[in-house]
Structure 1
């Protein structure tokens, strides 16, 4: 059932974007990887440019001072890093689907296999596992010095408002990005999950990371980990490790709230100055 559903998805997406001779004779695994790679690239560039145009062109006079807008050079660098990593990310998603296809997880194929209430309960538990696990993976990538030095530090070169942009959302060392996405697969061995929803959430993961790297100073919807919270993470290096929400940071004492725009700029300068004096 899972293989059939994936095959239909492959034929639908690849059939819309490419001539059949380019993919139809490929093994199923490679078709799935190609579908995931093309989909991830479209999502990354599409949402990246959407938020870029919205933030830095349509709303720049509202949200940004001139000196806080990322340069074209910084944005281009983030795109290059991300495009190099997306093939590996796509391979990880494809492997996770392969594991599901072989029946090694608790995934179920049809939404009506369970009641609506059970479906929602599974979804909430799944998201809770993701929230806890990604918080700790992210925090350990900071706390374990070799992991930070060789993996996560390449993402934290984006440590000021004028070099953070939506395009930094996927600009990780490939192993770093895969480690932070690993809880999505691990959760499937713990809680039953609708296969189609799992795949959608993997791509929503990418959209979310793009969104929270858009450093707009807007009021956050509690308890969401908005871009203002995540911008603080990029400037202090030791706060706001959370993923979709700030709840784990609140529980484990790593939460720092955004200040108003003027204070926030001073706060960022102070934190960067402190970081430079202590490293």
Structure 2
């Protein structure tokens, strides 16, 4: 995310912050004159942390917090020195060279680099910038990809399905548009940790990092890791109590349009995105590849909701598999593959009738009626007999 933020800062945001919140301006003066600011400014974090009881073995003679090296072993950790131990672990995990905003990296400083009293490295500025950038990017990606899919890929016969809702597409768009900013806000802490050097993201491709072979190997690793965790999270979201509170809004759409792809309860959408953000904290991942994979995930999410059944592949959890999930609820929880559904015995093979392109109208209606009968039996068990959806055939 530092790549995106640096380009945005250089070409736009440095200037915006310089004009809106300049050094020596009204807001800057007001903050510096506040008693709270003066109290914080006088607080010596390095001195304060040393007041926490720790063990006697300190190998560093430097008085700064960052350079304190505390020697712990299995028997020396207790309730008194635990805060110092955890803080030391956090400090040692941080890659100081990857802290964003202290100096230019990919681009020169520019005329407005230091013109605002909020520097690029300010957590408040980073949070605000990321909230705006990722929300706008999320909306742009959602509307552009879903629209192209709707025009060129989506099977418009779905509009006649007896379980298509009245005004469904507008409801999908409203749900997604309002959910994306909340999902972004919930994801911001992960981006902030990345910007401050706490992830294993890297930029230089060299022998120390495994070279290009390691970069290529990261793609299947990312897919398999996230597919496994999403499967587990998705199954958890189908527990009756969790389903009713979080996941049911996404299952409002029994048959989907591409605009259903991001139409979640925001906590649901955020929960299913967690594996994508956890991965770079556990495994090395190239920064550009991370941006590419993040974009691919959003493309894939739209694609599996487009209703166009191109392949009944036994491995890939494609559109047909995900349609089965929306129709029959308790099957095909995976995101990319059928592997975890097969292991968890929740795989359901899409019917061959999905892939008949030139069905007669009578055959299509017969197939849809069969789907409805099977779907209603499962829905009654999961949601109860009262259905609050309003369908087009009602």
TM-score by length of 2: 0.61
- Do the aligned residues in 2 keep the contact of 1:232 with 1:240 (CA within 8 Å)? yes
- Who is 1:154 aligned against? 249
Question: Which of these residues, 188, 199, 203, is aligned with residue 109 of structure 1?
Answer: 203
Distance change in 2, residues 1:135/1:264 (3 Å): farther
Query: Is 1:68 aligned to 2:161, yes or no?
Result: yes
| Residues 1:130 and 2:226 aligned together | yes
Aligned residues of 2:309 and 2:320 also touching (Cα < 8 A): yes
Separation in 2 of the partners of 1:203 and 1:150? 28
Offset of 1:275 from its aligned partner? 2.8
The alpha-carbon deviation at position 178 of structure 1 amounts to 0.5
Aligned length: 265
Higher relative contact order (CA 8 A, sep 6+): 1
Q: 1:96: which partner in 2?
A: 190
In the TM superposition, residue 120 of structure 1 has moved relative to its aligned partner by 2.1
Q: Summarize deviations over 1:83-135 as a string: whole Å, max 9, x none.
A: 11111222244432211122222221234443111222233222211010001
* Alignment pair present for 1:141 and 2:141: no
Name the counterpart of 2:371.
268
Secondary structure, counterpart of 1:118 in structure 2 = helix
Deviation per CA, 1:14-44: give whole Å up to 9, x if none.
74xx995489757233222211111111110
Q: Higher helix share goes to which structure?
A: 1
1:8 matched to 2:39? The reply is: no
User: Which whole-Å CA distance do the structure 2 matches of 1:158 and 1:203 have between them?
Assistant: 24
- Any unmatched runs of 5+ in structure 1? none
Gaps of 5+ in 2: 21-117, 119-124, 355-363, 385-394
Provide the rounded CA distance (Å) in 2 between the counterparts of 1:44 and 1:111.
31
Structure 1 match to 2:178: 84
In 2, Cα distance between the equivalents of 1:10 and 1:93?
Answer: 19
* TM-score relative to the length of structure 1: 0.84
Aligned to 1:182: 274
In structure 2, the CA distance between the partners of 1:23 and 1:53, relative to structure 1 (3 Å rule), is farther
Structure 2 CA distance for aligned equivalents of residues 231 and 38 of structure 1: 28
Larger Rg: 2
| CA displacement at 1:189 relative to structure 2 | 2.5
Deviates more, 1:65-74 or 1:75-84: 65-74
Deviation of 1:158 after TM superposition, in Å, equals: 0.7
Aligned match of 2:101: none
